[in-house]
Amino acid sequence: MAREGLIFYGSIAIFPLIVLLNLALPDAANRPDQPKEVFNGALLLFFTLLLIYVTYGYHFKKQPHVRVKTVVNVSLIFGVFLLLWLVLVGKLGYLRPHSFPSPNNVFQVFITDIDFLTYESSKASIIRAFTGYILALVLGIPLGVWGGSNLRAFSVSYPIAKVTAHIPPVVYLPYAIAVFPSINGAIVFMIFIGAFWPIVINTMFGVYNIDKRLIEFARILGADEKRILFKVVLPAAMPSILAGSLIGLVLSFVLLTAGEMVGAHTGLGFYLMYYFDVGYFDKVVAAILLISFWVFFWITFGFDIVQSKLLRWQRRIG
């Protein structure tokens, strides 16, 4: 449909429009002389990437229509948010300048603090999050499979897991810091614990609820226990395992930020908290944006892709 294409291209045109407004309108009196290069540059870069994606995906039909639509819609919402922020805060000067910096000032931080914020802090945070998360996957899935295939283990561990999963791992943190040799280890441990429970519970639940006939069917066909595990039990429980892994991933980021805000001396959460205490809100907002970006990035470009690969066999809904 040509009309749909017009809507797609029209939607992403919001980004150059924001850049034009940014250049054309004068800055608010209470936030004068905003450095505009980084914000404008980021928007134009984003626009270019989107343009390539839409052309490649929609025009040449290289991507599922639903996915292109989602990307365009998410971008449009993001664009509207930036537009409102720029115009209301940066150009019309609403809200207190101290706690509500204009997007121009915030984006500038990514460049002025490129080493400390954009690179070092991101790196420290991402390494922590994934060490804990991957550890949780590696231990949680086998344990969940065991618990789910054994009725007695299931009925004992399920209530324990349900209670333990609710206790906010953040409260272990002070104790973990005391017991662990390093703060880093304590935070990783906390992320591990936080991601571990949803993964275990969902794996257990998925395995426990498998249609038993599938296993009997495999047995009749002559499959041994190992083959049943890898070819029947794991794939059958996969939707549930993935659901748990997603919750675990989201929790990992929550706990990462929490741990860093409360205890660490490096990382994005620490950066955020440090500049909050000092009162530099452009840096606080920059950190918030960067954390959100990483979370969005890993979920959309990491998790979603793995998930659609692993669940190709499921009929797509809608």
Partner 1 sequence: MRAMKAVEVTGVKKLGNGKVVLENVDMEVNEGEFVSIVGPQACGKSTLLRLIAGLDQPDAGKIKILEEEVSKPHPKVGMIFQETLLFPWLKIIDNVTFGPISRGVEKVEAEREATKWLESFGLAKFADKWPYELSGGMQRRATIAMMMVNQPKVLLCDELLGGLDLITRNAIADEFLKLWHEKKPTVLYVTHLLEEAVYLSQRVYVMSAKPSKIYETFEIDLPEKRWEVPNLRFSEKCADYVNKVREAFVEAMKVA
Partner 2 sequence: MNSTIKYSAIVSLFLITLLVNIFVPDAANRPDQPKLVFNIIMAIFFAAILGFFIYGHIMGKQSKQRVQTVMDLSVIFGMFFFLWLVIVGKLGFLDPLRYPSPNTVFDVYRSDFQLLVVRSTSDTIWRLVEGYVVATILAIPLGLFVGRHTKIHDRVAYPVAKMVAPIPPIIFVPYAIELLPNIDLAVKFVIFIGAFWPIYVNTVYGVRNLDYRYIEAANTLGASERRLYTKVLLPGSLPSIYAGLFIGLVLAFIVLAVAEGIGGSHDIPGLGWYVLYFADLFYYDKIIAAILLIGFVVVIWTAISDRMQDRLLKWQKKGAW
Q: Among partner 2, partner 1, none, what does residue 269 contact (CB within 5–8 Å per kind)?
A: partner 2
Is residue 165 part of the contact set for partner 2 (CB under 8 A)? yes
Q: Among partner 2, partner 1, none, what binds residue 236 when CB lies within 5 to 8 Å by partner kind? A: partner 1
Contact partner at residue 187 from partner 2, partner 1, none, CB < 5 to 8 Å by partner kind? none
Residues 244 and 136: their CA atoms lie apart, in Å, by 11
Could you say whether residue 204 binds partner 2 (CB under 8 A)?
A: no
Longest alpha-carbon distance in the chain: 79
Q: What is the DSSP code (8-state) at residue 170?
A: G
200-219 residues in contact with partner 1 (CB under 8 A) are 213-214, 216-219
**Residue 214 or 250 having the CB closest to partner 1:** 214
Rounded Cα distance between 139 and 135, Å, is: 6
Q: How many residues does the chain have?
A: 318
User: For residues 145 and 207, is the Cβ–Cβ distance under 8 A?
Assistant: yes
User: Within positions 97 to 156, which residues make up the interface with partner 2, using CB under 8 A?
Assistant: 99, 151-152, 154-156
Question: Phi and psi at residue 211, in whole multiples of 5°?
Answer: -60, 115
Amino acid (one-letter) located at 222: G
Q: How far is the CB of 300 from partner 1 (least distance, A)?
A: 24
Q: Is 280 helix (H, G, I), strand (E, B) or coil?
A: coil
Q: Which of 48, 174, 305, 311 binds partner 2 (CB under 8 A)?
A: 174
Among 12, 210, 238, 249, binds partner 1 (CB under 8 A): 238
Least distance from C-beta 203 to partner 1, angstroms?
16
Question: Is residue 232 involved in binding partner 1 (CB under 8 A)?
Answer: yes
Q: Quick one: which of 87, 68, 91, 88 has its CA closest to 11?
A: 68
Contacts of 276 (CB under 8 A, 6+ apart): 284
Per CB under 8 A, 273 contacts partner 2: yes
Is residue 172 within the footprint of partner 2 (CB under 8 A)? yes
Scanning 25-121, the segments in alpha helix (DSSP H) are 37-54, 65-84, 103-112
Burial of residue 236 (number of CB atoms within 10 Å: 0-12, 13-18, 19+): middle
Select the binding partner of residue 78 from partner 1, partner 2, none (C-beta < 5 to 8 A, by kind). Answer: partner 2
Residue (278 or 305) nearer to partner 1, CB: 305
Query: Using an 8 Å Cβ cutoff, are 294 and 306 in contact?
Result: no
Taking CB under 8 A as the rule, does residue 73 contact partner 2?
A: yes
Give the whole-angstrom CA distance, residue 159 versus residue 206.
16
Two tokens at 264?
Answer: 């660490």
Q: Which residues bind partner 2 (CB under 8 A)?
A: 69-70, 73-74, 76-78, 99, 151-152, 154-156, 158-160, 162-175, 177-179, 194, 198, 208-209, 247, 250-251, 253-258, 261-262, 269, 272-273, 276, 281, 284, 287-288, 291-292, 295-296, 299-300, 317-318
Q: Which residues bind partner 1 (CB under 8 A)?
A: 213-214, 216-224, 227, 231-232, 235-236, 238, 312-315
